[in-house]
Structures are given as structure tokens and as C-alpha cells.
Chains A and B, each alone.
Chain A
Amino acid sequence: MGEAPAHPQAVPVAGISVFAGLGIYASTGSTVDLWLLLLLGLLGFLMRRHEVPLAPVLIAVILGPIAETNLRNTLAISQGDLGALVASPTTVVIYALLAVAVVLAVVGKVRSSRSADV
């Protein structure tokens, strides 16, 4: 035990741990889930430390299966024809918007990194 001062947020951290553990166990009743909680917590910690964004993880977890189902259905209906993915005008519009968003983001980044270098 060193002489280091107590963590300024010792109490809230403890409280959150309790709340988290409690919330999960109360809603699922499974100890396995609690172990998963711990593993994911460690993963989340690493991600925070290395500045990996967390939002895409949740979106991928939830939309991934949906994306997979729709992808497989599309290809099943079209008998493996990949063109079916961009066949309708709606899909074209969506992908176009996607491209626009990416371009905007890239341009924005290039611009801000340039001005930061100045």
C-alpha cells in the first residue's frame, strides 16, 4: 500500500460497478453473462485507452446480423448475381449518399490537418 492519494472517483466507480453487475444479473440471471461482462469491460478499457471508437461496435453487433440476412436473401433471390445489390434506384441513391458522406469527411479531415500544420 503506497502513499498514493485515493482515487478522486473511488465511490462513484464502486457504485457504477455494483449497478452494472446488479443490472445485468437481475435481467438475465446468468453468471455466464457476468463473466462476459467482465471480458467486455476489459475490451472496452483497451479500446478506450487506444482511442478506438465504441459506437461502431454496437452498431455492428446489432446491424451485422440484419445486414447478413439481407445480403444472403438478396443473393438467394438473384441466384448469386451481385448486381442485384445495386439494381434499384433506392439502393443507388443510398450508396451515392454514402459516397458523399465519405468524401465530405475526407475533405474535412484533410482541411483540418492542413490548417493544424500551419
Chain B
Amino acid sequence: MEALSDLAGGFSTALSPINILWVFLGAVLGTAVGVLPGLGSAMAVALLLPVTFALDPTGALIMFAGVYYGGLFGDSITGILLNTPGNSSAIATTIEGHKMALDGRASQALATSAIGAFTGGLIATTVVALGAPLFASLASAFGPAEFFALTAFAFVATAFVVADSALKGLVALVIGFTIGVIGIDTQTGTVRYTLGIPQLFDGIGVVVITVGLLALGEVLFVASRRGYAGGDQLVSVKGRPFLSRAEFRDALPAWLRGTAFGVPFGVIPVGGSEVPTFLSYGTERRLDARREKPMFGRGAIRGVAGPEAAGNATAGTAMGALLVLGLPTSATAAVLLSAFQQFGIPPGPLLFERAGGLVWALIASLFVGLFVLLVLNLPFAPLWAKLLLIPRPYL
């Protein structure tokens, strides 16, 4: 199969020492930022984005992928240990995960979460790798009308279907459209909406928007919440994060079911990235109630395994949708899209033709990134927990 040989080529690029370094660095930074209380994967992406620009395109994008997945995992760590998920997609994991932690099984919860994230991401990325050439050939017949339909889909999906209120979603769209319109119109050379400020001729950079809205906006918001005490006590992690064979067998079906929920939602984000995690949670809970010894409510492994796999599977296919279709279905995906554009390589069906090597290298790095994260997080989970421990008295 041609895809396999392309993928192999991708791996040879991805496994070059420098690129492994970038993935590693990205994963570490992403997890670190995601783990710090008060921050989450969105903030990690926003803050580390300018840094990635200092690198070459391949390295930058590879590092970004590491940051993204790392941040997602950091979200779960804070959820399990602090009862404060760093991201809405980590909420479902936190419900049972924190209970497990309170029960003294924090390291098992972390291990389950790490393996679940790995499984979900791995299967989703495999689906993407296998399906990519197929989609790319389908999509190479796309003309402007089809691309417009895709963008319309993205708008409606994120504004109406993801947000709670259609009106608020529209507000966000309006704000975004307006900002996007600023600058020189490429087709006619007309200057639009710059108020005579020359620096605005090229429009407002996406990095500025991302860091401004997400990072600085959050900073001001947190500043305004001064009266809020926040935070439960931190649960310390004892013991090595290994699962016994019985626990492993217990979690396995949940991991697979969770992945099944997550994969389709990366492409069609009905309700957002949290929905598959809650679907998984609900399913695991109902299945659990039928067993002789229901575990939910007291820290059920399946309550962590399922949602975590679902969340990462969604992230995986969302990445895939971005690479293959050029269709961002989340803020982080949109930011990644702009990073591609910055380097002059817009993702989408044409990308395969023009820069197929890069895409396969990216897909390969996603795989590498997942492995790196697994390696980082399984043995080092207690270490991340210490990170939470240190700043707390200082805070």
C-alpha cells in the first residue's frame, strides 16, 4: 500500500534526532503548562505558539503537535489530582479520576489516563493515516464552492453547535470576521479597515489574536476573580503508576469504547470536544451499574479509561481533519492552521500533492509524540504531581 511507504518516509523524517527533540520538548512544555493550576491546554498552545515560530516549519509544527497532546494530558493530571480539569474535555475524566485519587489510587488513575490517552490518540491517528490518501484524492476535486461549503460548516459547527447559545456563538463569529477583514484585500489590492495605520495593512496576526484573547484575556479574567479562594487540597501520589493485570483488563474495553466514541467527533464536532467524553462516561456508568460490584462513585477505572480515550481520539481525528481537509474544528486547530499558513503551506487536499512529505512527517510525529507522552507520563506521573506541590504554598 502506498500509504504505508509514505508513512515510512514520514517516520524517517520524524525520527531524525532534531525532530525528536522538538516533539519531546513540545510534549514536556505542553504537559508542564497544562499541569500548572489555572492553566490548561489552550493556554499552553497560546503561549508556546510564538516560540514555535522561531523554528523551521517542520520542527515548529512537530513541536506544536507535542505541545497540544502534552497540554491535553496536563489537563487530566490537574483534574485527577486537584479536581480542577484544565480543559472541558477533561471534566468527565475528573469525575471518577479524582475519586480514585482520594481513595489513594492516584497513580493508577494517572496510569489509566495516560494509557487511555495513548490508545485513543493512536487509533485515531491510525485511522487518519489510513484514510488520508483516500480523503485527499476525494478532496482534490474540490473547487471554490466546495471549500466555501467546508468553511460554512466550520462556522456553523463551532458557533452554533458547540456553544451553548446561538446568539453568543454569532457574537464570536462577528468579532472574528471583523478582525479577519482588516487588511489589504488580496484580490483587488484595496485597503480595508486599517484606520490609516500601516502596520495593519497585513491584518492582525493570528499569534497576537491568540495570545491576546486567550492568554491575556484569561490573565485579566483571573485577576478579576480575586475573591475566589479556589482549589481543593492536592492529593499526593503514592506508589508507582502501574496497573495490575486485573486493572488493565478492566480498563481495556473502556479504552476501546471510548475511542469509538471519540473518533467521529473530531470531524463533526457536535457539541464540542466534551461530548464524546460525556457519552463515554455515561455509557461506562450504565454498563458498570449492571455488574455485581458497581464501582462508579467510588473511583472506577473505567470512568477514567473511557472518557480519556474518547477525548484524545477526538483530538486525533480533529488533527487529521485539519491536515487532510484543512478544516479546523476547534480553536487550537484554527491556530495550527494559521501556523501552516504562516509557513506558506496551507493544509488541505492540495497539501498532499504539494508537500506530501511534510504531511506524512507530521502524521508520523503525531505517533512519535504519543509514544513520547506515554513514556513521559507513565513513570513520571508522580513527578508532575510534585510540580503541583511546589508552587502551591508560594501561590
Direct contact of A and B (CB under 8 A): yes
CA of A88 to CA of B147 in the docked complex: distance in angstroms? 12
Task: Report if B384 contacts A (CB, 8 A).
Answer: no
Chain B minimum-CB-distance residue to A91 = B149
Assembly CA distance A8 to B224 (angstroms): 12
Give the size of the chain A interface in residues (CB under 8 angstroms).
Answer: 76
User: Which chain B residues (204-229) contact chain A, with CB distance < 8 Å?
Assistant: 204-224, 226, 228-229
What are 15 of the A-B contact pairs (CB < 8 Å)?
A10-B395, A13-B222, A41-B213, A41-B220, A44-B212, A47-B172, A53-B158, A59-B154, A60-B179, A63-B154, A66-B147, A70-B151, A91-B149, A94-B152, A101-B157
Tell whether, in the assembled complex, residue B219 and residue A17 are in contact, meaning their CB atoms are under 8 Å apart.
Answer: yes
B residues in contact (CB < 8 Å) with A: 36-39, 43, 46-47, 49-51, 53-54, 141-164, 168-169, 171-177, 179-181, 186-187, 197, 199-200, 203-224, 226, 228-231, 268, 270-271, 328, 330-331, 334-335, 337-338, 341, 391, 394-395
**A44 near B216 (CB under 8 angstroms)?**
yes
Secondary structure at the A interface, as helix, strand, loop or mixed, is helix
B181 neighbours in A (Cβ, 8 Å): 64-65, 68
Chain B residues, Cβ within 8 Å of A85: 145, 148-149
Instruction: Report which residue of A36, A84, A87, A88 has the largest number of chain B beta carbons within 10 angstroms of its beta carbon.
Output: A36
B145 A7 Cβ-Cβ under 8 A? no
Specify which chain A residues have a CB less than 8 angstroms from the CB of B179 in the assembled complex.
57, 60-61
In the complex the two chains form, is B331's CB within 8 Å of A101's CB? Answer: no
Q: Which 4 A-B pairs have the closest CB atoms?
A: A44-B217, A60-B176, A40-B212, A41-B216
Q: Nearest chain B CB to A14's CB is how many angstroms away? A: 9
A16 to B219, CA, bound (A): 7
Q: Write the nearest CB–CB distance from A48 to chain B, whole angstroms.
A: 4
Write the A1-24 contact mask toward B (1 if CB under 8 angstroms, else 0). 000100111111100110110011
Docked complex Cα distance between A68 and B187 (Å): 10
Which residues from B are CB-within-8-Å of A7?
A: 222-223, 226
- Give the residue among A38, A55, A91, A109 with the most B Cβ atoms within 10 A: A55
Interface pair A62/B226, CB less than 8 Å apart? no
Pair A26/B229 contact, Cβ less than 8 Å: no
Tell me if A77 counts as interface (CB < 8 A to partner B): yes
**B174's closest neighbor in chain A, by CB?**
A60
What residues on A are CB-neighbors of B210 within 8 Å? 58
Q: A23, A57, A66 — which one has the most chain B CB atoms within 10 A of its CB?
A: A57
Alpha-carbon separation in the docked complex, A2 to B347 (Å) = 53
**Distance in Å: Cβ of B137 to nearest Cβ of chain A:** 13
Residues of B within 8 A of A91 (CB): 145-146, 149
Cα distance A47–B164 in the bound complex, in angstroms? 14
